[in-house]
Amino acid sequence: MSSNKLKHPGRRLLALLLVIVLGYVALAVGTATGRTQMTPGLALDLEGGTQIILTPTTSDGSEITDEDLDQAIEIIRQRVDATGVSEAQISRQGGNNIMVSLPGTPSEETLDLVRTSAVLYFRPVLRILQAGAATYAEAQNNYVSSLASAAATDAATDAETEAATDAETEAATDAATEAATDPATDAATALPTETVTAEEMATTLADVNGDGTISPDPLESTSDDHSSDAWLSEQLIYDAYMTDCTAADSLTGEAQDPESAVISCARDGSGTIYILGPADIAGTDIASASSGLETTSQGTTTNNWVVSLEFNEAGTKAFADVSERLIAYRDAASAAAATGTSDAGSADSQKAQFAIVLDGLTIMSSGFNPDVTTAITDGRVQISGSFTQAQANTLANQLSFGSLPLSFTVQSEQRISATLGTEQLRNGLIAGLIGFFLIVVYLAWQYRGLGVVAVASLLVAAAGTYLVIALLSWSMGYRLSLAGVAGLIIAIGITMDSFIVYFERVRDEVRNGRTLVAAVDEGWQHARRTIIVSDSVNLLAAVVLYFLAVGGVQGFAFTLGVTTVVDLAVIILFTHPMMVWILRFRFFGEGHRLSGLDPEHLGARSRSAYRGGLLATAAASGGSLARRRAQERRAQERADADAPQGEDQNRTVAVDGVEDAEDKSEKENEQA
């Protein structure tokens, strides 16, 4: 890049500084509104967090293998990473326990993703019970009580009326008094006052054949698929009615046999009870799941959040069979409702739905839209249901990473303190400041005036790196660990490498007799390629380390990658424009001996050649050519006066040659 291509370097410097200032303003606004804070979040080793210990179990009681645990750890890590939490530590503890440590104060949704860790299944719906038997018993008892109270009130009113019309007789007065003091006596004898228990209500509701007993035998059915009543029994229905899905212990989840019909509570705590058939599809058959706004068949986007699923080959085939079966149940229920032989809440209409079950709890149940008339054979499904954005994202994460080979019981959950603490962070920052100070001293000694450019670039790089780290902590939950602090300190050396490469190339061009403007441009041409290659290698190493490592090493790699990108941006957008800009000042443009660009101290090959270049540089910087020429001649005359007489003739010829070269250079500059 030559100087005539880099126009207005001062404007470029101001533009970069303006971007940094705007970034800090955005960070300050986020802090004022409570969305973020000025300092980045800290990892477990510096802040502490929440620790959960999980004990694995299998639904069939089989032995837990190392492969099962490794797969479970990987899926839990994917779940946590998908929520934006970084620097989490997930590892085995003792025998088969898994320890999950989350930094800071994780959200309840993130904790639920760790706690609910069983295999995810798609099951057909056999029955949906909106409440348990206790609720129905309470409702009936309240109804009987209200009827008795109403009847008693009516009896008392009638007695008072009768007494008022026959107030002269004592018998009427006594009758009115008796009715007023015990008005429910006659009403109680006329109305049913016997209350029912939850068990009695469950027996009544579950007694399908009306014989007064609860049988464990399968119900009669004309079909043999997973939605058949053959999977039901009166005992299963009774147990479902006796389940309280509003109780806290019913919402903890448990391992369930995928080959049997099960009872499942709604995970949202609404109290809905599901009786579900054997699993049709396992979560391992889901290839991908994502959330987004709904797109209609006409290509327009609505404001409704949906979850899009895509199954693998086995899941695609299984879901095609499931969709065909459920659509048939839906059409049969619709036909029965149209003829008046059934209603929309019948068992057939409920069987037209499938439930998504995670850790034994039903996340949601859904049927097929009326416009879906044939089986879905492409393995792509869109789930809608009045989701908010957060709910859609959570469901997509559960579907994506819900396919664990094990289920878990939460052994313990507790807050943990920082393993290292703020003292170690302070020591790390002090080490970084000491290193920065030593670098400034070295720059002042080695590069003199150019050290100002390097220090200014380091300060801009530090401000930019801190801003990026803080914004990443805000946007994606990044947390700074002590390993990340080490990455920041190493970044100082990486940035210094870029400065040294650039400055040395410029100084090499000055040694070869080039003018300062030409030396900066030519040196940048060569140094830029070297810097880009060097930073690319560092960035590639950081990326590889990030994807292959976990925990603190991953945090180190991430920080190293961020600082490498910032270094490349600073050297291109700040350091080089600043080098071009400072040549407009006499201290640098004239090659002052303290500027770091003095040709004598750099060992320039041709002082006279540099002198001619200096005149050109002075012209480019607005200096007077005549004045500079006069200064050069006076200096030469003093040198001639001190020289021996025998050398006057030769020196005069040399001076004339220099003056001719200067005159020629002056004419060329005037023409330009």
Residues of the chain by 3-state class (helix, strand, coil), percent to 5: 60, 15, 25
Q: Is residue 596 part of a domain?
A: no
Q: Give the domain extent around 57.
A: 46-117+412-416
Q: Is residue 387 part of a domain?
A: yes
Q: Rounded distance, CA 382 to CA 395, Å?
A: 12
Report, as ranges of residue numbers, the positions in the chain whose pLDDT lies below 50: 1-4, 167-193, 344-345, 607-626, 645-672
How many helical (H) and strand (E) elements, i.e. helices and strands, does the chain have?
23, 15
Q: Are strands 281-282 and 479-480 parallel, antiparallel or unpaired?
A: unpaired
Residue-level pLDDT at 651: 40
Do residues 362 and 461 both lie within one domain? no
Strand stretches in 62-140, DSSP E: 89-93, 97-103, 120-129
Q: Rounded distance, CA 143 to CA 193, Å?
A: 10
Do residues 436 and 571 both lie within one domain? yes
Residue-level pLDDT at 161: 59
Do residues 208 and 102 both lie within one domain? no
**In this structure, are residues 195 and 210 in contact, taking their beta carbons and an 8 Å threshold?**
no
Q: Are strands 89-93 and 97-103 parallel, antiparallel or unpaired?
A: antiparallel
Question: Is the whole-model pTM more than 0.85?
Answer: no
**In this structure, are residues 618 and 611 in contact, taking their beta carbons and an 8 Å threshold?**
no
Q: Is residue 607 part of a domain?
A: no
Do residues 391 and 262 both lie within one domain? yes
Do residues 319 and 457 both lie within one domain? no
Residue-level pLDDT at 156: 60
**In this structure, are residues 313 and 285 in contact, taking their beta carbons and an 8 Å threshold?**
no
Nearest residue to 401 via CA among 100, 103, 120: 120
Q: Is residue 598 part of a domain?
A: no
Q: What is the CA radius of gyration of the chain?
A: 42
Would you state the structure tokens that stand for residue 133, as one six-digit string? Answer: 């038997």
Do residues 554 and 466 both lie within one domain? yes
Domain total in the chain? 6
Do residues 558 and 496 both lie within one domain? yes
Q: What is the pLDDT of residues 102-137, one digit of tens each?
A: 887 777 777 777 776 556 888 999 999 888 888 877
Q: Is residue 377 part of a domain?
A: yes
Do residues 447 and 526 both lie within one domain? yes
Q: What is the pLDDT of residues 286-298, one digit of tens each?
A: 888 888 888 876 7
Q: How many CB atoms lie within 10 A of CB 502?
A: 26
Q: Is residue 489 part of a domain?
A: yes
Q: Rounded distance, CA 142 to CA 518, Å?
A: 97
Residue-level pLDDT at 612: 44
Do residues 283 and 357 both lie within one domain? yes
**CATH number, domain at 474?**
1.20.1640.10
Q: Is residue 602 part of a domain?
A: no
Do residues 440 and 528 both lie within one domain? yes
Residue-level pLDDT at 419: 60
Do residues 469 and 517 both lie within one domain? yes
Q: Is residue 445 part of a domain?
A: yes
**CATH number, domain at 80?**
3.30.70.3400
Do residues 393 and 337 both lie within one domain? yes
- Give the ranges where 307-402 is alpha helix by DSSP (H): 313-339, 347-350, 389-400
Backbone angles phi, psi at 442, to 5 degrees: -65, -40
**Which residue is associated with the tokens 């080979």?**
405
Would you state the structure tokens that stand for residue 491, as one six-digit string? Answer: 């970044």
Contacts of 315 (CB under 8 A, 6+ apart): 281, 285, 286, 287, 379
Amino acid at position 482, single letter: L
